[in-house]
Chains A and B, each alone.
Chain A
Amino acid sequence: MRGDPATPHHVDMDTDVTPRPTGRPATPAQLEWLGRELVAWRAEGLVQDDQADAILRRYHATRRFSLARLLLALGAVFVGVGLIWLVAANLDQLPPLLRFLAVASIWLALLIGGEVLHARHLMLPSQVVGAVRLMAALAFGAVVFQAAQSLQVPAFEPLLVGLWGIGALVHAYAVRGFGPLLVGIPTLVTWFVWQVLWDAPSAFAAVLALAVAAVAAVSAGALHERGLRQFGPVWREVGAALVLAALFTAALPAVTMADFGWSPWLVVGAATSGLVAGAAILLCRGPARLEPVGALLVLAASVLMVLWDAGDNPDVLTLADWVHAAVSVVVYVVVAVAVAVLGILRNSWRLTALATAGLVVFTTVQSFAVFAQIIEGAWLFLALGLVFLGTGYLFDRARRELAATLEGGDR
Chain B
Amino acid sequence: MKKRLALVIIVQLALVAVGVAPQLSARAAGEEYRVRVAAADPIDPFRGAYVVLAYPDLSRGDGSFSADGGLGALEDGRSGPVYVTLAEDDGLLRATGFHRSRPDSGPYLACDDRDWQIRCGIESWFASQSEARELGQELAEDGAIAVVRIDSRGNAALVGLETR
Q: Residues on A close to B: CB < 8 A?
A: 84-85, 87-89, 92-93, 96, 108, 111-112, 115, 118-119, 140, 143-145, 147-156, 159-160, 163-164, 166-167, 170-171, 174-175, 198-200
Contacts and interface: CB of A to CB of B under 8 A. Distances in A.
Contact of B16 (A84, A87, A143): A143
B119 to A, nearest CB: 7
Given A115-B5, A119-B1, A149-B126, A88 B15 contact: no
A151 B24 contact: yes
Contacts of A155: 44, 46-47, 50, 124
A231 to B, nearest CB: 16
Interface residues of B, number: 41
Contact of A163 (B5, B16, B49, B123): B16
Contacts of B125: 152
B34 interface: no
A171 B8 contact: yes
Contacts of B1: 115, 118-119, 175
16 contacts: A87-B48, A88-B45, A88-B47, A92-B48, A92-B49, A115-B5, A144-B19, A147-B20, A148-B20, A151-B20, A151-B27, A155-B47, A163-B19, A167-B16, A171-B8, A198-B115
A156 B49 CA distance: 14
Given A111-B5, A111-B9, A156-B119, A92 B16 contact: no
Contact of B12 (A112, A143, A151, A198): A143
Nearest to A155: B47
B157 interface: yes
Contacts of A119: 1
B137 interface: no
A41 B106 CA distance: 87
Interface of B: 1, 4-5, 7-9, 11-12, 15-16, 18-20, 22-24, 27, 44-50, 79, 114-115, 119, 121-129, 131, 157-159
Given A153-B22, A167-B15, 7 more contacts: A112-B5, A152-B122, A166-B15, A167-B16, A170-B7, A170-B12, A199-B114
Residue among B12, B16, B45 with the most chain A CB within 10 A?
Answer: B12
B127 A175 contact: no
A144 B11 CA distance: 12
Given A88-B45, A88-B48, A198-B114, A152 B8 contact: no
Contacts of A154: 119, 121-124
Nearest to B45: A88
B128 A153 contact: no
Given A115-B5, A153-B121, A198-B114, A92 B129 contact: yes
B8 A174 contact: yes
Nearest to B123: A154
B4 A174 contact: yes
Contacts of A152: 23, 122, 124-126, 157-159
Nearest to B70: A156
A321 to B, nearest CB: 32
Contacts of B27: 151
Contact of B44 (A88, A153, A198): A88
B46 A145 contact: yes
A201 to B, nearest CB: 8
Contacts of A200: 79
A64 to B, nearest CB: 29
Contacts of B47: 87-88, 145, 148-149, 155
Contacts of A174: 4-5, 7-8
B19 A147 contact: yes
Given A149-B48, A156-B119, A92 B157 contact: no
A111 B10 CA distance: 12
A88 B46 contact: yes
Contacts of B16: 143-144, 147, 163, 167
Contacts of B121: 153-154
Contact of A153 (B19, B45, B114, B131): B19
A174 B5 CA distance: 7
A92 B127 contact: yes
B5 A170 contact: no
Contacts of A149: 47-48, 126
